[in-house]
């Protein structure tokens, strides 16, 4: 039976428990407040002994643990936690980054290793990823994967010459087994193209596996991609199939290939040349028959000149290149994309849009769209949330798009007072829509989580 595998997940974190182990009370309280505001249940402990006790009492999904504790070392504690609670994930915190400690922590089974202060913005996204992995493991999945939506060439909307040329190239190469390299800016639809190529290939009835190479540390990515043997490192309690094995006889999509660690590139090159690789802890090779589609928003030739990417791997991956145009080069497709997004979101948001005002579409066409189709999609979703009637007008767009439109047309800008009032109303509406979920609200508003907290306090928004 055909199924699609992807490691892009959006699982509910409701009721997930987070255990913070840190001997600094001020740090514990600050982290607890931030994490609790995201909807997690937080438990605290000041040392290894009390941390293990809380682990036994509450069975938290994720543990945030300091490295230097009064009665032990967090790196060593990871092994004990993984032994007592194999499905829990551990994120280590330290005041001073130390690469050897980080490597050992990963070998001991840690999910990740971050530096206090420097990596504060990574904590909430990491908790989300770690929680998702725990929930999947509890449901019996082998990896961060799910049956995903199938995209075909009919899913790619657009009448512009640029997008039609890209589609025509993809259709020609789909029936072959040739590796494909998709280039283009973030948000231009590279995964949709990859899936469409797979669906129109002779491998269509087999798995399509997608992995984002920028989502994991080198150690975790190697384990995810190639798998490992039980006992190959602390925390490897059983044999694990890698994503290449999952994709056998099908297609694997390597997104953000330019982010792959240089050492792992040699393994990928071997697969391209021989169809073989060696799992972590194994001595004999595993054979696979996989079609590789890679994607990047980087200039790989520049990466090669800076010794960040292997030249031999580049030429093996780029047998057939397809460049996906940015949205600013295909603005005639914006009305069609907008209508499609409105249709897709209308049921989810229980709205019935019957009219799109000209100013609304004109404002969209005047945007540079640095985030491309993904940014347009998020903008339409936000507009539907704040829209009160059954027609979309320019007032339903984010303030920066409104301002850009007025400045380009007649030089008019909102006063500071109007901006503040409208911004407060907009943030309040989105918070109401997300039921107070700050991370989701920040995503929809396209601002940082820290910025959102500052604006909530500045505008005295009840959340």
How buried is 343 (Cβ within 10 angstroms: 0-12 exposed, 13-18 middle, 19+ buried)? exposed
Same domain, 291 and 395: no
C-beta of residue 21 within 8 angstroms of C-beta of residue 45: yes
The predicted structure's pLDDT at residue 171: 97
Q: Within this chain, do residues 397 and 422 fall inside the same structural domain, yes or no?
A: yes
pLDDT for residue 146 = 36
Question: If pLDDT is split at 50, 70 and 90, which confidence band does 463 have?
Answer: low
For the chain, the first-to-last Cα distance in angstroms comes to: 46
DSSP-assigned letters across all residues of 16-35: -EEEEE-S-HHHHHHHHHHH
pLDDT (tens digit per residue) in 229-283: 877 766 666 778 889 999 999 999 999 999 999 999 999 999 999 999 999 888 8
Q: What is the pLDDT of residues 97-136, one digit of tens each?
A: 555 566 677 777 888 888 776 666 778 888 888 887 777 6
Calculate mean pLDDT across residues 143-153: 56
Domain hosting 71: range is: 9-138
Q: What is the mean pLDDT of the chain?
A: 85
Indicate if the pLDDT at residue 93 is higher than 50. Answer: yes
- Contact between 272 and 316 under an 8 Å Cβ cutoff? The reply is yes
438 and 335 together in one domain: yes
Which pLDDT score is estimated for 207? 93
Q: Which of 282, 300, 325 is the last residue of a domain?
A: 325
Whether residue 433 lies inside any domain: the answer is yes
Same domain, 284 and 340: no
Where is the domain boundary, 325, 359, 385?
A: 325
Query: Of 90, 110, 138, which residue sits at a domain end?
Result: 138
SS3 content of the chain, % helix, strand, coil (to 5): 50, 15, 35
411 or 74, which is more confident?
74
Structural element, H or E, at residue 273: helix 262-274
pLDDT, residue 293, reads 98
- What is the structure's pLDDT at 5? 38
Residue 203 and residue 73 share a domain: no
Confidence of residue 451 (pLDDT cuts 50, 70, 90): confident
Claim to verify: residue 129 and residue 219 sit in the same structural domain: no
For 95-106, write each residue's pLDDT tens digit: 665 555 666 777
Name the pLDDT band for 221 (thresholds 50, 70, 90). Answer: confident
Q: Give me the mean pLDDT over the 431-447 stretch.
A: 87
Domain contains 2:
no
Residue 463 lies in a domain: no
Q: What is the mean pLDDT of residues 214-238?
A: 77
- Average pLDDT estimate for 386-396: 88
Nearest to 445 by CA among 327, 454, 353: 454
Q: Please check whether residue 1 lies inside any domain of the structure.
A: no
Closest alpha carbon to 376 in 342, 410, 346, 353: 342
Give yes or no for residue 139 having a pLDDT over 70.
no
CATH code of 204's domain: 3.40.50.300
Tokens of 228: 């490992």
Read off the pLDDT of each residue in 308-326 and give the average, rounded to a whole number. Answer: 96
312 and 446 belong to one structural domain: no
- The residue among 242, 184, 232, 253 whose CA lies nearest residue 6 is 253
Reading the block at residue 405, the tokens are 């439109």
pLDDT at 393 over 70: yes
Q: Is 90 exceeded by the pLDDT of residue 461?
A: no
| 199-221 mean pLDDT | 88
Is the pLDDT at 356 greater than 90? The verdict is: yes
Q: Say what the pLDDT of residue 87 is.
A: 83
Q: Is the pLDDT of residue 22 over 90?
A: yes
pLDDT in tens, 242-257: 899 999 999 999 999 9
pLDDT band at 2 (very low <50, low <70, confident <90, very high): very low
* 3 falls within a domain: no
- Of all residues in the chain, the percent with pLDDT exceeding 90 is 47
Q: Which alpha helices (DSSP H) does 108-229 contain, by range?
A: 123-138, 161-174, 190-199, 218-226
Q: Looking at the structure, do residues 334 and 317 belong to the same domain, yes or no? A: no
State how many domains the chain has.
3
Q: Rounded CA gap, 260 and 258, in Å?
A: 6
pLDDT tens-digit readout, 402-434 = 877 766 765 544 454 556 767 887 888 788 888
Q: Of how many residues is the chain composed? A: 463
d(CA 401, CA 340): 20
Same domain for 320 and 290?
Answer: yes
Query: For residue 4, is it within any domain?
Result: no
């Amino acid at each position: 039976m055909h199924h699609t595998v992807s490691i892009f997940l959006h699982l509910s974190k409701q009721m997930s428990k987070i255990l913070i182990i840190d001997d600094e009370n001020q740090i514990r309280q600050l982290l607890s407040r931030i994490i609790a505001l995201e909807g997690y249940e937080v438990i605290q402990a000041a040392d290894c002994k009390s941390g293990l006790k809380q682990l036994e009492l509450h069975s938290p999904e994720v543990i945030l643990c300091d490295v230097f504790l009064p009665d032990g070392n967090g790196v060593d504690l990871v092994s004990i936690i993984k032994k007592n609670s194999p499905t829990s994930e551990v994120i280590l915190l330290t005041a001073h980054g130390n690469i050897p400690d980080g490597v050992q922590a990963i070998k001991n089974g840690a999910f990740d290793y971050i530096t206090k202060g420097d990596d504060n913005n990574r904590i909430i996204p990491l908790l989300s990823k770690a929680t998702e992995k725990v929930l999947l493991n509890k449901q019996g999945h082998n990896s961060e994967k799910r049956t995903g939506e199938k995209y075909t060439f009919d899913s790619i909307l657009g009448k512009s010459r640029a997008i039609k040329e890209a589609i025509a190239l993809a259709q020609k190469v789909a029936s072959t087994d040739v590796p494909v390299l998709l280039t283009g800016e973030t948000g231009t639809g590279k995964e949709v193209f990859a899936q469409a190529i797979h669906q129109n290939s002779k491998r269509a009835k087999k798995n399509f596996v997608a992995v984002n190479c920028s989502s994991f540390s080198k150690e975790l990515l190697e384990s995810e991609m190639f798998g490992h043997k039980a006992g190959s490192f602390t925390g490897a309690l059983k044999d694990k199939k890698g994503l290449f094995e999952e994709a056998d006889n099908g297609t694997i999509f390597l997104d953000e290939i330019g982010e792959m660690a240089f050492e792992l590139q040699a393994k990928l090159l071997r697969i391209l040349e021989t169809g073989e690789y060696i799992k972590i802890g194994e001595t004999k090779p595993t054979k696979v028959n996989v079609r590789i589609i890679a994607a990047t928003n980087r200039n790989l030739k520049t990466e090669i000149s800076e010794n960040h990417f292997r030249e031999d791997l580049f030429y093996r991956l780029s047998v057939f290149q397809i460049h996906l145009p940015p949205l600013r080069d295909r603005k005639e497709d914006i009305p069609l994309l907008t209508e499609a997004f409105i249709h897709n979101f209308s049921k989810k948001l229980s709205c019935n849009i019957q009219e799109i005002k000209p100013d609304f579409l004109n404002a969209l066409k005047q945007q540079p769209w640095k985030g491309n189709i993904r940014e347009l999609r998020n903008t339409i979703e936000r507009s539907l949330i704040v829209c009160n009637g059954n027609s979309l007008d320019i007032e339903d767009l984010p303030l920066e798009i409104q301002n850009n439109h007025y400045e380009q047309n007649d030089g008019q800008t909102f006063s500071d007072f109007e901006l503040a009032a409208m911004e407060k109303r907009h943030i309040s509406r989105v918070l109401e829509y997300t039921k107070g979920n700050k991370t989701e609200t920040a995503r929809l508003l396209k601002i940082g989580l820290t910025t959102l907290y500052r604006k909530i306090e500045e505008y005295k928004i009840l959340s």
